[in-house]
Amino acid sequence: MSLERLKQKYPGAQTFRFGDGPDLCDRLTALVREGRKTATCDALRSFETGGEAMPVTGRRDIALNWDGSPALVIETTDVTTRKFCDVGEDFALAEGENDDLAGWQRDHQTYFERNGGFDPEMDLVCERFRVVEDLHPGPKGG
């Protein structure tokens, strides 16, 4: 389905990409499809500078592949703002990228260092979501 038709189907939907490059975008999108990734976060500054729309509980948004084609429609189920140092293991594991809080902290520190800077006291927008529609489901077994 085209992005234009999806925006008609889901009025008010914003578009975004997981990650900051094609490989990470592909990996994170795959984790969402597998059901392992049900949360995401970004620095509050990313939303304040007008780069991305702030997530809103109940809104359905369109996750794009790196090439801009639609991949998934998600619905935000919870949004909180907390400091990096206050993110707990429950949220870190819901992101689906690591097996423990220490791994999440390491990988996210690296991500933030290459995307505007890192501070353990930095504010993060932490979002939980559910998949509403998978626009490119994999082959079905049979």
Residue among 77, 89, 64 nearest 38 (CA): 77
- Between CA 33 and CA 137 the distance in angstroms is 8
Domain spans in the chain, listed from the N-terminal domain onward: 3-133
* Predicted model pTM: 0.91
Residue 53: its pLDDT value, please?
87
Which pLDDT band, with edges at 50, 70 and 90, does 138 fall under?
low
Model confidence over 41-83: pLDDT tens digits? 999 999 987 778 899 999 999 999 999 999 999 999 999 999 9
Residue among 60, 66, 70 nearest 3 (CA): 70
For the domain with range 3-133, which CATH number is right: 3.40.1010.10, 3.40.50.150, 3.90.1150.10, 3.10.400.10?
3.10.400.10
- Between CA 127 and CA 57 the distance in angstroms is 9
Q: What percent helix, strand, coil does the chain show, rounded to 5?
A: 30, 25, 40
Model confidence over 102-120: pLDDT tens digits? 999 999 999 999 999 999 9
Model confidence over 24-36: pLDDT tens digits? 999 999 999 999 9
